[in-house]
Amino acid sequence: MIEMRKHIRKSLSMKLCLDILFIVILVFSLSLGFLYWQSRHIIHEEAIDEASHVLDNTALRVKGYMVEVETATRNILWLVNLHNHDKDSLLKYTHRIVANHPNTNGCSITMEPDFYPDDAYGFSAYSVRFEEFSSPEKDSVSTVREAEYDYYNKVWYKTARQKKTACWVDPFDDYNAGTLSSPEMIASYCVPLYDQQGKFIGVISTDLSLKRLTETITNEDPYEHSYFMMLGADGHYFVHPDTTKLLKQTIFTNTDPREHTDIVALGYEMTNGRTGHMEVKIDGNSHIVLYRPLEGTEWSMALVCPSNELLRGYNSLNYILLPLLVIGFLLLVMGCRRIVKHFIQPLGLLASELRQIGHGNYETPLPISQRTDLIGLLQNSFCQMRRSISQHIRDVEQKKQETEQRTIELEHVTQLARQASEQKTQFMQDMSHQIRTPLNIVHGFSQVLRDDSNTMTDEEKQQIVETMYVQTNALDYMVSKLLTASLIESHQVISTNDTVNCNEVARKALDNAGSLITHTVEMHLDCHVADELTIKTNSHHLLIVLTELLFNALHFTHEGRVTLRVEAIGDDVLFTVEDTGIGIPADKADFIFDKFTKIDMFTEGLGLGLFLCQRVVQLMDGRLILDPQYTTGSRFILSLPIH
């Protein structure tokens, strides 16, 4: 040991080797430790993200069943009101919902006790599906007038009456002795009914089988020993692999808050409608629970996975690291020893020059050696290296500045591209929704005319035809708007050689806009020019612009009136559209003429109307502005030259 210490003291190469090895091992350990921590973090996040996608996809499938139930219920509302609540019709409607929608378990239309004078205890039409075990695809549907029982105190009736809006209620056992009842636990979508005076008269309740809901959720088996669960607003289980807990226990049942604080915290997170993930102990084993609320309800879904299954890749990293660490250390020791022995002699002779370079002093000139041996060659090579390094550093700094500038420009371009992509996606979604809605209405009415035309009166048929006419007008109007957008994007020139009568085009625009809306708003035409006044412009595009401005005003005005004013000022004719609607917020006024811009992303529309109006008016040598002085609603002023 003493001899080894003496050898180390005398050997510069050994000292340098040990010093370098210590530093390299330290840096290697820190780097590897950081990479190890970062890799575990990335693997953990990827595992959580993958499980979150599984949970989101399952929630979407569940929501699809629920949306089917909601849509079927809303589509029948107008028929209930149309037939003046005839009892036979109510029975037929409940049967139609259950028969035509395989994911519904039952449907009832229940009226208030005093609605029919001849029924002391009220009236309830009820249809329920019974599965045929011999042939599941041919389930039977039974429809009856329900026997007398206290259904007015049932949760599906009281909840809709109290909330005064459509809602889902937590699953419940619908069994009632002596009545036609579902043999399964169900969750109901309840919609209150009101007469024309706004008085509550009953409830439409459509049932979703908890068994079907459970099968939809439990069909997914993303991880071994994982499972899904679903909680109601108060924490009751209504989807869980342990059927003894369903509707009888909550997540807080038999849970000691002092011993199971994680489960209690999970319960509060889920019942409060939050989204996230949490590690909890279940039956003494570590589990990761990912949870999220179910849109449109007070329910919450969760995916429960054993930690060792979900984080299998996370844990396997430990078994890879140890061999790599040992091999890396051995390679470092061997490589460091060989390199130091090879380079120590010439580096020792040039210690002073190396100290200058080691301190970062690349600009101080080093002396040129006149020696022709190896040391002289090394010294002169270091002089050349110093100059090269100095120049290289300057080049690197310049490249760095150029790269940073280029990075800023690329980030800006990327942001613009991302915004354009988001606008395109939102536009496609809006367009799909705007086209699908009237198509669904026309399709639904066409089915009604096909299936029930023999039982309908002429007045009912006329109402359906008028509704279909309004929706087809809406589709035609939307297609016309898209064609106009195509014209604008292609930068074509709009012809302005048509002779257009100002008052006549204003009347046509009022008629067109009125045919596109379903609610009633007072419309007024205020003409301050002679009927003979004409201008040279494009009649087709002027009519489209005025129709779009009037349609927007009618769409956002539910009380008051919409006015179209025609007047001549100087060499221009002004078409002013003003309304008493919700108006345009001041912070949105500067952007309403931009493409794909809407005041509220949740309102209907493509975000193209005002953009196209302004572009078309500009191509016709006109001007379209929003009057900021008008605060009662909104006022748009379109000016075109008379000559």
Confidence of residue 134 (pLDDT cuts 50, 70, 90): very low
For residue 519, is pLDDT > 80? Answer: no
- Tell me how far apart the alpha carbons of residues 196 and 59 are, in angstroms, rounded to a whole number: 37
Closest of 280, 284, 283 to residue 263, by C-alpha:
280
pLDDT score of 178: 45
User: CB burial class (10 A; 0-12, 13-18, 19+) of residue 104?
Assistant: buried
Compute the average pLDDT of residues 95-106.
87
- Tell me how far apart the alpha carbons of residues 327 and 320 are, in angstroms, rounded to a whole number: 11
- Tell me how far apart the alpha carbons of residues 123 and 635 are, in angstroms, rounded to a whole number: 51
Distance of CA 174 to the CA centre of its chain: 35
Compute the average pLDDT of residues 409-431.
70
R_g of the chain computed on alpha carbons: 38
**DSSP category for residue 304:** E
- Tell me how far apart the alpha carbons of residues 218 and 304 are, in angstroms, rounded to a whole number: 12
CB 568 within 8 A of CB 528: yes
pLDDT score of 564: 92
User: CB burial class (10 A; 0-12, 13-18, 19+) of residue 463?
Assistant: middle
Cβ neighbours, 10 Å, residue 606: 22
pLDDT score of 372: 63
pLDDT above 70: percentage of residues in the chain: 76
What tens digit of pLDDT does each residue of 483-494 get? 566 656 555 677
Highest mean predicted confidence (pLDDT) among 172-186, 206-220, 345-359: 206-220
Highest mean predicted confidence (pLDDT) among 10-19, 416-425, 446-455: 446-455
In 5-111, DSSP assigns E strands to 106-111
pLDDT score of 369: 60
For residue 180, is pLDDT > 60? Answer: no
Q: Which residues contact 255 (CB under 8 A, 6 or more apart)?
A: 263, 264, 267
Confidence of residue 2 (pLDDT cuts 50, 70, 90): low
- Tell me how far apart the alpha carbons of residues 97 and 103 are, in angstroms, rounded to a whole number: 10
Token pair listed for 566: 């025609």
**Pick from 124-133, 413-422, 567-576: least confident:** 413-422
What tens digit of pLDDT does each residue of 225-261 get? 888 888 888 888 888 888 788 777 888 888 888 888 8
pTM here? 0.46
pLDDT score of 135: 45
Compute the average pLDDT of residues 114-120.
79
Helix, strand, or coil (residue 207):
strand
Compute the average pLDDT of residues 552-573.
88
pLDDT score of 133: 42
Closest of 58, 131, 117, 130 to residue 87, by C-alpha:
117
pLDDT score of 136: 47
**DSSP category for residue 152:** G
Residue type, 472: T
CB 227 within 8 A of CB 237: no
Q: Which residue has the higher pLDDT, 117 or 316?
A: 117
For residue 597, is pLDDT > 70? Answer: no
* Terminal CA-CA length for the chain: 110
- Tell me how far apart the alpha carbons of residues 148 and 126 are, in angstroms, rounded to a whole number: 12
For residue 155, is pLDDT > 60? Answer: yes
For residue 406, is pLDDT > 50? Answer: yes
Token pair listed for 87: 């009892």
pLDDT score of 29: 74
Average pLDDT, the chain: 78
- Kindly report each contact of residues 265-273 with a partner whose C-beta sits within 8 Å and lies 24 or more positions away, as own/partner: 266/291, 266/302, 267/231, 267/235, 270/231, 270/235, 270/300, 270/302, 271/231, 271/233, 271/234, 271/235, 271/300, 273/298, 273/300
| Diameter over CA atoms, the chain | 126
Measured in residues, the chain has a length of: 643
Beta bridge partners of 145: 125
For residue 500, is pLDDT > 70? Answer: yes
State the residue for tokens 């005002």. 610
Q: Which residue has the higher pLDDT, 357 or 399?
A: 399
pLDDT score of 132: 56
**Pick from 182-196, 526-540, 555-569: least confident:** 182-196
Confidence of residue 359 (pLDDT cuts 50, 70, 90): low
Highest mean predicted confidence (pLDDT) among 134-143, 179-188, 392-401, 439-448: 392-401
**Pick from 13-27, 315-329, 591-605: least confident:** 591-605
For residue 314, is pLDDT > 60? Answer: no
pLDDT score of 192: 92
CB 641 within 8 A of CB 496: no
Closest of 123, 102, 103, 104 to residue 113, by C-alpha:
123
**Pick from 245-254, 328-337, 395-404, 514-523: least confident:** 328-337
Beta bridge partners of 185: 173
CB 309 within 8 A of CB 225: yes
Confidence of residue 612 (pLDDT cuts 50, 70, 90): confident
CB 563 within 8 A of CB 524: yes
Q: Which residue has the higher pLDDT, 599 or 258?
A: 258
- Tell me how far apart the alpha carbons of residues 538 and 500 are, in angstroms, rounded to a whole number: 8
Compute the average pLDDT of residues 262-284.
88
**DSSP category for residue 288:** E
For residue 1, is pLDDT > 70? Answer: no
Confidence of residue 602 (pLDDT cuts 50, 70, 90): very low
Token pair listed for 205: 């309740």
CB 47 within 8 A of CB 280: no
Beta bridge partners of 302: 229, 291
Closest of 104, 112, 125 to residue 180, by C-alpha:
125
